[in-house]
Amino acid sequence: MSKEDYKDVLGEWQGHHFGSVERICADDGSMELWIELIPDRGTPMICSECGRSGEKVHDAVERWVQDLPVFEMVTRLLVHRRRVACAHCGPKLEALSWLAPYARVTQRLARSVAELCSVMSLRHVAQHYGVHWDTVKTIHKRTLERQFAKVPLPEVETIVMDEFALHKGRRYATVIMDPTRKQVLWVGRGNGRESICPFFEALGDEGRRRLKAVAMDMSPAFEREVRFQCPHARIVFDLFHVVAKYGKEVIRRVRVDEAKRLDKSNPMRKVIRSANWLLLRKRKNISSRQDRITLKEILRANRRLSVVYLLSEELKHLWDYKYEKAAKRSWEQWYSRAIRSRIEPLKRFARRMKQRVDGILAHSKWPLHTSLLEGVNNKIKVIKRMAYGFRDDDDFFLRIRAAFPGNP
């Protein structure tokens, strides 16, 4: 192909014209296209610092820059970059529309890389364009920073927050979402009070006053910080987390105690010890006929397990009420039955929940739940798998926000 043919394919580069054009065989056996670009004489130069034009060249340097592939050949440009003798700024690089200062890839290659990163892993994008992985990561991160680094927090009235594992059992992060627009507003390291404090600082005084309800798990740290930052906002406890706490502190404890009370020769002892998952599930969600029979036998044979199981079902119904007064009456009945049960783990749980019952009753007015974040958590796992894990938390958090930009 002639120079003119390559020019037709690649277009022109502002302020430069073709010098030499060569096809080179790289070390790995692939073909590369090397093009020398020489500055046009007599064209006005623009200072990259102040944008003023200048005519005097301070000096010039040669720099290798990569461009979009041509016919599957990696394209490398040997650019003679001029420095303008700017009367206002001193020696500065000439501003070029197709090449950022000190960049090693052209603007159009950077745009193509950024677009492809939204649907492919960084490793595959790097292989596709023949660009180093670090270069691809830098381009992608800068693109996300331009879009999401500064959060123009909308006028949210409700939010949901939850934690997720960066590294299971070692490091955690917190995600905050607008449940109305399905938008991830903020992601930060840690799962303590100090972790979510920057979000409320970003909201500002007006934003904190506007906030009316916050859905969360039963994290004491989250609850204390929300009450401190937004004392007027209602805290809404998520059904799943309350029931999980009940299962751990009440059902599991009573099941173990009742199994220990039975003689080792009693066949029901083994059944009770292995029935944890049966006792934690709703009766309607047990599909196996044999499992339903087993559950019925356990509840018929053991009064204490029967009580905690039935009260578990009643506890879940507290999230079904649409009026707070009705929910409060139902809670008072549930609490009274729990205290009269003479089952210590159940009584302890009821007394603890009494101190925080407003978080349950608030659901009748603000039907929020953190299950909305399950989709976020699943997407987080996909992003992790695509990247084979992340060492750069900031890049990871930007990707999460990019995956949930919100409904228009």
pLDDT tens, position by position, 346-373: 999 999 999 999 999 999 999 998 887 8
- Sign, CA dihedral 38-40-46-52, equals positive
Instruction: Choose among 103, 147, 111: nearest CA to 129.
Output: 111
Per the domain annotation, does 268 fall within a domain?
yes
List C-alpha distances in Å: 378 to 14, 49, 66, 373, 403: 46, 45, 36, 9, 11
88, two tokens: 């206002």
> Is 390's pLDDT higher than 70?
no
Identify the domain containing residue 332 by its residue range: 243-363
- First-to-last alpha carbon distance for the chain, in angstroms, is 48
Query: Which residue is associated with the tokens 């037709």?
Result: 8
pLDDT tens per residue across span 149-164:
666 676 889 999 998 8
**What is the mean pLDDT of the segment spanning 108-127?**
89
Does some domain include residue 93? yes
Top-ranked range on mean pLDDT: pick from 257-271, 301-315, 388-402? 301-315
Domain boundary among 332, 348, 363: 363
Q: What is the mean pLDDT of residues 118-124?
A: 85
Give the pLDDT score at 209.
92
Taking Cα atoms as reference points, which of 279, 256, 254, 278 lies closest to residue 343? 254
The reply to whether 201 and 253 lie within a common domain is no
Q: Is 383 helix (H, G, I), strand (E, B) or coil?
A: helix
Contacts of 56 (CB under 8 A, 6+ apart): 84, 85
Higher-confidence position of 381 and 243: 243
Q: What percent of the chain has pLDDT over 70?
A: 94
d(CA 292, CA 284): 9
pLDDT of residue 347: 95
DSSP of 163-188, one letter per residue? EEEEETTTEEEEEEEETTTTEEEEEE
Domain count for the chain, please give it.
4
Q: How far, in Å, CA of 175 to CA of 401, rounded?
A: 9
Q: What is the reported pLDDT for 258? A: 84
pLDDT number for residue 169: 63
Percent of the chain with pLDDT over 90: 34
Say whether both 249 and 226 belong to one domain.
no
Same domain for 253 and 282? Answer: yes
Q: Which pLDDT score, from 0 to 100, does residue 398 have?
A: 85
- Whether residues 355 and 249 share a domain: the answer is yes
pLDDT digits (tens, 9 = 90+) for 29-84: 888 889 899 888 877 888 888 888 888 888 888 999 999 888 888 999 999 988 88
- What single-letter DSSP state applies at residue 247? I
Could you tell me if 357 and 391 lie in one domain?
no
In this prediction, residues 218-238 reach a mean pLDDT of 94
Per-residue confidence (pLDDT) for residue 259, from 0 to 100: 84
Tell me whether residue 408 is in a domain: no
267 in a structural domain: yes
pLDDT tier, 4 (very low <50, low <70, confident <90, very high otherwise): low
Q: Is the pLDDT at 8 greater than 60, yes or no?
A: no
Same domain, 86 and 230: no
Most confident of 1-15, 336-350, 383-397: 336-350
Task: Answer yes or no: is 339 within a domain.
Answer: yes
Q: What is the pLDDT of residue 6?
A: 58
Return mean pLDDT, the chain.
Answer: 86
Q: Which two tokens stand for residue 334?
A: 């549930």
Least confident of 225-234, 303-312, 351-360: 303-312
Residue 14: inside a domain:
yes
Q: Determine the pLDDT at residue 362.
A: 95
Is 29 found in the same domain as 89? yes
pLDDT at 343: 93
| Mean pLDDT calculated for residue range 231-243 | 93
User: Does pLDDT of 264 surpass 70?
Assistant: yes
Classify burial at 228, counting beta carbons within 10 Å of its beta carbon; exposed 0-12, middle 13-18, buried 19 or more.
Answer: exposed
In a domain, 16, yes or no: yes
Q: Are 347 and 339 in contact (CB under 8 A)?
A: yes
Q: Tell me how far apart the alpha carbons of residues 63 and 61 are, in angstroms, rounded to a whole number.
A: 6
Q: Are 301 and 255 in contact (CB under 8 A)?
A: no
Tokens for 195, please give them.
């972790």
70 falls within a domain: yes
Q: What angle, 0 to 180 degrees and rounded to 10, lies between the N-to-C axes of helices 133-148 and 393-403?
A: 60
**Whether residues 8 and 65 fall in one domain:** yes
Distance CA 198, CA 45 (A): 44
Same domain? 270 vs 334: yes
pLDDT of residue 356: 93
List for the chain the helix, strand, coil content (%; round to 5): 50, 25, 25
Sequence-ordered alpha helix ranges (H) in 230-302: 239-246, 252-261, 267-273, 276-280, 289-301
Same domain, 331 and 279: yes
**Among candidates 247, 248, 203, which has minimal Cα distance to 229?**
203
Same domain, 125 and 64: no
Write the CATH number for 200: 3.30.420.10
pLDDT for 365: 93
Q: Please report, for residues 49, 220, 292, 303, the alpha-carbon distance to residue 297 in angstroms, rounded to integers and kept in the order given.
A: 81, 38, 9, 11
Say whether pLDDT at 291 is over 90: no
Mean pLDDT, rounded, for 247-254? 90
Do 288 and 214 fall within a single domain? Answer: no
User: By three-state DSSP, how is residue 199 classified?
Assistant: helix
For residue 18, the surrounding DSSP H or E stretch is strand 16-25
Could you report the per-residue pLDDT of 194-210, keeping only the tens digit for each?
Answer: 999 999 998 889 989 99
